[in-house]
């Protein structure tokens, strides 16, 4: 992997493939992934760029690993724990371990963000039926989540 990636325009970088967000299923909508940087043992971190199209969203999930996120394109919202956060360019947030999260594009522009994670990480968990019932007890979360 290269150490310096030239921006080619339109949030694409030289030598970086445009990937599916995930291999599985319909728990998300209109989202792409680019792996920009991946460190080695001394710094075992990946920096990825995700982009959600208008009306799209990421999977509602939680896991043991942490995310560090910086928005770099457009506007959107995120559920993080029991908060729904409005997001615009250069806003930053983290998703702590075992915290429910989902990102959604806002408006009619793509919503793009950098997301850093550890190279070694556990697989995300989707909410069970019981956990969904629990999440939906909060009316603003109930109105927000897509699954
Ligand atoms: Mn996640």
Instruction: Give the lowest-confidence range in 13-27, 50-64, 91-105, 128-142.
Output: 13-27
Give burial (CB, 10 Å; 0-12/13-18/19+) of 75: middle
For residue range 58-84, list pLDDT tens digits in order: 999 999 999 999 999 999 999 999 999
Q: What is the pLDDT of residue 110?
A: 97
3-state secondary structure of 134: helix
DSSP conformation class of 56: E
Catalytic residue flag (residue 115): yes
**CA–CA separation, 105 and 85 (whole Å):** 12
Q: How far is the CA of 86 from the centre of ligand 1 (A)?
A: 18
Q: Predicted confidence band at 24 (pLDDT cuts at 50, 70, 90)?
A: confident
Q: Does the global pTM surpass 0.85? A: yes
Residues 85-117: tens digit of each pLDDT: 999 999 999 999 999 999 999 989 999 999 999
Q: In the numeric block, which tokens belong to residue 61?
A: 């999930």
Please count the other Cβ atoms lying within 10 Å of the Cβ belonging to residue 40: 9
CA distances from 119 to 17, 33, 38, 43, 123 (A): 18, 15, 8, 9, 12
pLDDT, position 26: 82
Q: Which of 115, 116, 118, 132 is catalytic?
A: 115
């Amino acid at each position: 992997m290269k150490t310096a990636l030239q921006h080619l325009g339109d949030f694409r970088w030289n030598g970086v493939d445009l990937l599916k967000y995930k291999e599985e299923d319909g728990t998300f909508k209109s989202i792409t992934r680019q792996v920009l940087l991946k460190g080695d043992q001394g710094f075992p971190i990946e920096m990825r760029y995700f982009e959600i199209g208008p009306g799209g969203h990421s999977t509602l999930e939680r896991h043991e690993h942490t995310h560090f996120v910086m928005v770099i394109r457009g506007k959107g919202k995120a559920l993080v724990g029991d908060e729904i956060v409005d997001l615009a360019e250069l806003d930053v947030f983290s998703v702590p371990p075992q915290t429910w999260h989902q990102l959604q594009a806002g408006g009619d522009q793509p919503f793009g963000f950098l997301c850093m994670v550890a190279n070694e990480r556990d697989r995300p968990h989707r909410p069970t039926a019981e956990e969904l019932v629990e999440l939906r007890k909060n009316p603003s979360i109930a109105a927000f989540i897509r699954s």
